[in-house]
Structure 1
Amino acid sequence: MGCHVGFFARPRTAVVLAVGLVASGVMAIAPTVAGAAVPSGFTDTAVISGLSSPTNAVFAADGRVFVSEKSGLVKTFDSLADTTATVTADLRTQVQDFWDRGLLGLALDPGYPARPYLYVLYTYDAEPGGTAPRWGDQCPSPPGATEQGCLVTGRLSRLTLGADGVATGAEQVLITDWCQQYPSHSVGSVAFGPDGALYVGGGDGASFNFADWGQRGNPCADPPGPAGADLAPPDARGGALRSQSVRRPAGEPVSLDGTIIRVDPDTGAPLAGNPFAGSTNVNARRIIAYGLRNQFRFAFRPGTSELWAGDVGWNTWEEINRVADATDGVAENFGWPCYEGAARQSGYDGANLTLCESLYGTGQTAPYHAYNHSASVVTGDGCPTGGSSVSGIAFEHDSNYPAAYDGALFFADSSRGCVWAMRRGANGQPDPGSIVPFVTGANVPVQVLTGPGGDLFYVALGAGQLRRVSYPAGTNLPPVAVAGADPASGAAPLTVTFDGTGSSDPEGAALTYAWDLDGDGSHDDSTAANPTWTYLTQEQVQVGLRVTDPGGLSDTTTVTVTVGEPPDDLPVVTIDAPTTATRWSVGETIPFAGRAADPQDGPLPASALRWQLTLQHCTTPTNCHAHNVRSWDGVAAGDFVAPDHEYPSYLDLTLSATDSDANTTSTTVRLDPRTVALTFTSSPSGARLVVGSVEQVTPFTRTVIVGSSNSVSAPSPQNLTLGLRFRFARWSDGGAQSHNVTAPVSPATFRATYQLCLFC
């Protein structure tokens, strides 16, 4: 099944869920993982914790670390040892934090602090030409997130930092573009190249459920029709075809969707030497690569002008693409949506779209490497298959890693929760035949980067952490953290003495201590080996200890303190509606209601409740990952509109309740969709028909969700009976050769009729 990049705010529940990337367009939810596996001799440690849906980290030469959170917050840590963040900038009003949308790109000027600029790339909560906030962190229905879509744009801005790392003055907007109809394939990376130029990427903003050429309202006003006019093949040039907009006829608008651009970091203006420098269109002059679906992360190979990008695919392939020289004035067209991987994409090929048909005659820039969603990246790597989202690109540079990793390309997949190393071949380039697993079991890795000491770092969105992979073998080994609490439980007020002296260092070095005594996720409450803390209210606290050796290596552990209320004396949560018997159709309004009571507090007020709706996207009926749809705080009842999605999938509705002692419990109801069988036949039989992204030979049947929108195409001409040539004549439902079918309540058959055509 296809995938996308997506995130959501973590609820305060006993079981924390976190979002990961997937190939159709939205990031997936994975269970929190305590730690990840790395090769022998390596360590994987958390260096910054307690973050809320982090998306990026950048390192400054003075030791500062800047971290972006999806909601629109940018935070500064004075060093990796700093346990208390300073808010650098709060962009939450203008950022739409919804599904895959949010603050997704961050870059620091390489001249910092002499050039005190921080660059942010985010989903701007405004329609083209409008101002924020337009929708807030939601998409009401109508228009419906996966139906007509809530139209937004993307924005690149520059922030000026003061000496304390806090943004001063007004945000300098450099570019506002990237029209996005659907809640995925938003903006992605912003990075400096070795030439001092700023490179920026953004996805196609199109549907991840069906082949999208602009047939659902065309709100981005893509040619050949105005906004509001449904586009149709063969001349449609909207939807995912925005990725090919630089190839539109002269005089038509050029979108930045599905492109990588090279611009002046002071103004956002195109730079001389770009491939389309002679164009009269300013966007065309910015573009150096296009034909990309969701190039969420990219990086330069050190010492070169090679730009390497990971492109999240639809239902079949994840791509790693290489721009051989980002400064040479040659545009690279990676083919989306006409191609996925090295092959034609059936959903768009079958529609006979002019922009694709003309490309098939000249070809794409093929992926440097691609891996199939149904296959392991490396046999036996221990990483799940199915949903896939390539979510990080970085190169080894100046580390103390073993020589086998010299110059290796590291790439991550947030859906699979893994990072691999593509080791360097004899020609000096990364070798697709020499890929090894590097980190397995990571909790939604959405960025990989190199940092202090040349180590690989990765942002684990699901864990709310920045993590570091070091190689201390033969030099310094990491310490081991051990924590004790006396007493570990009792009535409030409860004074507890903690003991960290059981911690040890293999080399016998003295350790420093950092405690999280109040359980807020930040190790900023004490630096003593044996601190004391008094708890005044009934609560259960996960107290954290981080120990660090003189070489900067650390380890963390936790100890549970229960104050007054025993752990089984928690709120009781009940969802009254809907029930597991509920079956939903796309676009149907589903009411919900729930309540909670606590043994001490009695019935809890609505303000103590939080609802979370997630869509479980499955590659098989048992292999699923989740996408955040929407949350509600402080309500006991409400309703939602069931979203569109490919089948198999289902909805989870979770109700969490927090009592006066900050104890939280939750319950979840699974809501399966109402499905229907659609049968596709042809006359003569044996024709190739395309439904969604997959081409099959008739007759065949697809199970889909009632009310879902499904793109169908009848490729023409075809060799059918006795090898004779036939051309498309009509569909039984009266639709065009390529059109969308809304799944009815009852099983239905759609027949494509072909006519003999000896000379077509």
Structure 2
Amino acid sequence: MAAPDAVAEAAVPPGFADTVAIEGLSAPTAVSFAPDGTVFVAEKSGIVKSFDSLADTSATVTVDLRDEVHNFWDRGLLGLAVDPGFPARPYVYALYSHDERPDGGQWGDQCPDPPGATDEGCLIDARLAKLTVDSSGVATARETLLSGWCQQYPSHSIGTVAFGADGALYVGAGDGASFNFTDYGQRGNPCGDPPEPAGTDLSPPDAKGGALRSQSPRRPADEPVTMDGTIVRVDPDTGDAMPGNPFAASDNPIKRRVIAYGMRNPFRFAVRPGTPELWVGDVGWNAREEINRIPDGTDGVAENFGWPCYEGGAKQAGYDGADLTVCESLYSSGSVTGPYFAYSHGGSVVADDGCTQGGSSISGIEFENGTSNYPDAYDGALFFSDASRGCIWAMRRGADGQPDPSDIVLLQSGIQAPVDLKIGPGGDLYYVALASGELRRISYAGGANRPPMAVAAADPTSGPAPLTVQFDGTGSADPDTDDTISYEWDLDGDGSFDDATGSTASYTYIEQEVVTAGLRVSDPDGATDIDTVQIAVDEPDQPEPIVVIDSPDEEFQWRVGQTIQFTGRATDAQDGSIPADALDWRLTLRHCESADDCHSHVVRDFERTAAGSFTAPDHEYPSHLLLRLTATDSDGNTSSSTVRLDPRTVELSFTSSPTGADLTVGGAVEQAPFTRTLIVGSTTTISAPERQRLLLLGLFPIRHRFVGWSDGGSRTHAITAPESAATYQANYQVCLLWC
């Protein structure tokens, strides 16, 4: 789940408003609204919280699954659904990456280091848990409804769990494969994919591992099937396959569950209201993001969207170049469902929409259901979001009643990583902002009664005790200009709005503390809105800690697989030297579309230590690392320092003899000669077609056949970027009669 490093100020079209519904969350990933008004929120670490309503400012911890959840990179607790019969059927479903090693131990929210998460990975499975929740919002029982999946690398894990109109539970998961190279199982094959047992590296053309697990439902009956890269349809009480599934006659219980496959990372999907349709956002690799349509999850037809053989409706160059039998047979059969809509990583979704292009990751899918106050043009619209770009768009309905790819408008921009979209109370669109820790609401200033908007300001917001703060709510307003709003303040942070009334207030804080003060405004019809402001009260004259990272410094450059030692320290006026158990580190990888247009993946946290080490991860270039040290003094004051760590890079040249051959490096094909910049020590795959037309003597296009790479590798093989510039040449010779 990628987050943009910097986004523009949030903006919505005229007439719309974007307001905080719930704040103060820690890396929220999903939201689900119960029929009785209860709001359930999942946090990536493994905690499910519940709120009695959107007006409830005090969360109840429904369940704490942190001991079971593998909260690492893009893994974690990512999916959440409430039974549509709630509370009569008091069930909440949580979908998460499961922290369990193949030997039965736990990874402990990390991966073996070395070799590191992007080298050989760390194998996990995933779980769908059925929680029984009592009237207080606490889970009293937990049942593992579904387990499995085989995921080697720290992204493309599980995603959405949702109920269909048929009462079935739909569950999606990614391929669990590498995001750095063409992965067909050549790094240990820990999942035991055909044709070799676990622990045996696979090779073309017969390999069926890595990303090719997304095509596992096509395997012969005597070979294993996985749920990776699929959406399954199961009974919400047993986890068994539902009747009418496409492979209901199979002897394989996993295959019986599958209704759609051939996806890289179907992180979010939604059921279109009043229909059996599923609309799926599938996160792409090098080229495109997809929105895929499953016409009917109950019709017994298995949709194959083609990954990894296809991406965005076109052949995926890395997997096509490897001449894998799984893909070649799919190309010849033509039995692939193309995307309903796809957008390029290198272009805007809507012209001049202003959304950053520092990578792309489609991260939310939802439909307007006819209950909002939005303008008529949005009736039945398909909303979708991109966490990397920080934007939400609306694909409005066309004349045929279907979402129209030619009529897309920007709804919201400047969002801190929108990772889930849901229609909630009032029919409005709500979104989960991962990076800002908020659930937010997009409303429209139309309809019979429009809710007010609270705006709370404070001056000052921090300082030593005693601290007198002046609060100002005069920026609050009601779009219905004839309505008079009332004001209620919670100034001591106890959750009760009973400390003051009126548009302004004053309060003196006498103890060192951090208080979330709130303003609740109401209109005459009872519609409310809440805004909060945080007040940090320090001990008298206690400055923040001074934080120093001693090593590494910004001159340091790393190579993949290198062990990097880090050390740091902090002091402040009161405590002197701050102890190591008050020092915390965070390592973040920034993945870039260009040198300065990046989004972030949190790799790992190191808690309560002044020193440590990590292995530099493998990744495509351009990318770099951020290492942040945060110190907390005895009064709870914090301060941080960050160092940027750039990689060592190398220019690799790719040529052919004769010149002009189409060669594939990583996931992209290009005509030789060309160069690529790689991080030293990184892994990529190179492929050369077995036959292609090349110019003889630079004049005549003649069929040639491949005879070898200059490094002696097979036609498709992995290379490790060397320390210094190198050339890889694909050699061809003229075909004779047998060619």
Counterpart residue type for residue 724 of structure 1: I
Match of 2:131 among 154, 159, 184: 159
Q: Deviations over 1:636-670 (max 9, x none)?
A: 11111100000111111111112223222211111
User: Which residue in the other structure is 2:710 paired with?
Assistant: 732
Q: Is the 8 A contact 1:73 1:92 kept in 2?
A: yes
Measured in 1, the distance between the counterparts of 2:540 and 2:313 equals 60
1:4-83 paired onto structure 2 within 5 Å: 6=1, 27-31=2-6, 36-83=10-57
Measured in 2, the distance between the counterparts of 1:291 and 1:490 equals 56
Query: Which has the larger displacement, 73-82 or 537-546?
Result: 537-546
Match of 2:160 among 163, 166, 189: 189
User: Which residue in the other structure is 1:384 paired with?
Assistant: 356
Q: Deviations over 1:538-557 (max 9, x none)?
A: 56767443434444342525
User: Which residue in the other structure is 1:669 paired with?
Assistant: 643
Structure 1 residues 234 and 678, CA gap change in structure 2 (3 angstroms) = same
SS in 2 for 1:62: coil
Structure 1 residues 718 and 489, CA gap change in structure 2 (3 angstroms) = closer
State whether structure 2 residue 530 is matched by structure 1 residue 552: no
Structure 1 residues 168 and 474, CA gap change in structure 2 (3 angstroms) = closer
Structure 1 residues 325 and 238, CA gap change in structure 2 (3 angstroms) = same
User: Which residue in the other structure is 1:13 paired with?
Assistant: none
Structure 1 residues 546 and 602, CA gap change in structure 2 (3 angstroms) = farther
Query: Which has the larger displacement, 335-344 or 543-552?
Result: 543-552
Structure 1 residues 199 and 101, CA gap change in structure 2 (3 angstroms) = same
Measured in 2, the distance between the counterparts of 1:684 and 1:500 equals 74
Counterpart residue type for residue 435 of structure 2: G
User: Which residue in the other structure is 1:406 paired with?
Assistant: 379
Measured in 1, the distance between the counterparts of 2:489 and 2:497 equals 7
User: Which residue in the other structure is 2:574 paired with?
Assistant: 600
Q: Is the 8 A contact 1:476 1:551 kept in 2?
A: no
Q: Deviations over 1:348-370 (max 9, x none)?
A: 00000000000001221000000
Q: Is the 8 A contact 2:509 2:537 kept in 1?
A: no
Q: Is the 8 A contact 1:535 1:563 kept in 2?
A: no
Measured in 2, the distance between the counterparts of 1:427 and 1:714 equals 45
Measured in 1, the distance between the counterparts of 2:496 and 2:205 equals 61
1:274-313 paired onto structure 2 within 5 Å: 274-313=245-284
User: Which residue in the other structure is 1:371 paired with?
Assistant: 343
Match of 1:746 among 707, 724, 729: 724
User: Structure 2: which 5+ runs fail to align?
Assistant: none
Alpha-carbon offset, residue 501 of structure 1: 7.2
Structure 1 residues 516 and 430, CA gap change in structure 2 (3 angstroms) = farther
Measured in 2, the distance between the counterparts of 1:480 and 1:194 equals 34
Measured in 2, the distance between the counterparts of 1:643 and 1:470 equals 42
Q: Is the 8 A contact 1:30 1:462 kept in 2?
A: no
Alpha-carbon offset, residue 237 of structure 1: 0.1
State whether structure 2 residue 192 is matched by structure 1 residue 224: no
User: Structure 1: which 5+ runs fail to align?
Assistant: 1-5, 7-26
Query: Which has the larger displacement, 388-397 or 502-511?
Result: 502-511
Counterpart residue type for residue 167 of structure 1: A
Match of 2:660 among 680, 686, 703: 686
SS in 2 for 1:215: coil
SS in 2 for 1:433: strand
User: Which residue in the other structure is 1:319 paired with?
Assistant: 290
Counterpart residue type for residue 649 of structure 1: S
User: Which residue in the other structure is 1:431 paired with?
Assistant: 404
1:92-241 paired onto structure 2 within 5 Å: 92-127=66-101, 131=104, 134-169=106-141, 171-241=142-212
Alpha-carbon offset, residue 28 of structure 1: 3.0
User: Which residue in the other structure is 1:11 paired with?
Assistant: none
Q: Is the 8 A contact 2:7 2:356 kept in 1?
A: no
Structure 1 residues 32 and 656, CA gap change in structure 2 (3 angstroms) = farther
1:603-752 paired onto structure 2 within 5 Å: 603-721=577-695, 722-752=700-730
User: Which residue in the other structure is 1:445 paired with?
Assistant: 418
Measured in 2, the distance between the counterparts of 1:223 and 1:490 equals 64
Alpha-carbon offset, residue 526 of structure 1: 4.8
1:435-474 paired onto structure 2 within 5 Å: 435-473=408-446
Counterpart residue type for residue 680 of structure 2: V
Counterpart residue type for residue 652 of structure 1: L
Counterpart residue type for residue 717 of structure 2: H
Alpha-carbon offset, residue 274 of structure 1: 0.8
Query: Which has the larger displacement, 557-566 or 606-615?
Result: 557-566
Alpha-carbon offset, residue 458 of structure 1: 0.7
SS in 1 for 2:646: strand
User: Which residue in the other structure is 1:21 paired with?
Assistant: none
Alpha-carbon offset, residue 630 of structure 1: 1.0
Q: Deviations over 1:564-594 (max 9, x none)?
A: 5569x32111111001111100000011111
Structure 1 residues 551 and 377, CA gap change in structure 2 (3 angstroms) = farther
Alpha-carbon offset, residue 563 of structure 1: 4.2
Structure 1 residues 115 and 682, CA gap change in structure 2 (3 angstroms) = same
Q: Is the 8 A contact 1:523 1:545 kept in 2?
A: no
Structure 1 residues 498 and 698, CA gap change in structure 2 (3 angstroms) = closer
Measured in 1, the distance between the counterparts of 2:56 and 2:129 equals 27
Structure 1 residues 322 and 725, CA gap change in structure 2 (3 angstroms) = same
Measured in 1, the distance between the counterparts of 2:447 and 2:236 equals 43
Q: Is the 8 A contact 1:548 1:555 kept in 2?
A: no
Measured in 2, the distance between the counterparts of 1:645 and 1:486 equals 45
Instruction: Report the count of equivalent residues.
Output: 727
Alpha-carbon offset, residue 532 of structure 1: 6.9
Measured in 2, the distance between the counterparts of 1:482 and 1:213 equals 53
State whether structure 2 residue 731 is matched by structure 1 residue 756: no
Alpha-carbon offset, residue 529 of structure 1: 2.5
Measured in 2, the distance between the counterparts of 1:484 and 1:743 equals 53
Measured in 2, the distance between the counterparts of 1:296 and 1:718 equals 38
Q: Percent identity?
A: 62
Structure 1 residues 433 and 523, CA gap change in structure 2 (3 angstroms) = farther
SS in 2 for 1:393: strand
Counterpart residue type for residue 515 of structure 1: D
Measured in 1, the distance between the counterparts of 2:298 and 2:514 equals 57
Q: What RMSD in Å do the two structures reach over aligned CA positions?
A: 2.2
1:469-488 paired onto structure 2 within 5 Å: 469-473=442-446, 475-479=448-452, 481=454, 483=456
SS in 2 for 1:112: coil
Counterpart residue type for residue 706 of structure 2: F
State the TM-score, normalized to the length of structure 1.
0.92
Q: Is the 8 A contact 2:485 2:521 kept in 1?
A: no
Counterpart residue type for residue 584 of structure 1: W
User: Which residue in the other structure is 1:529 paired with?
Assistant: 501
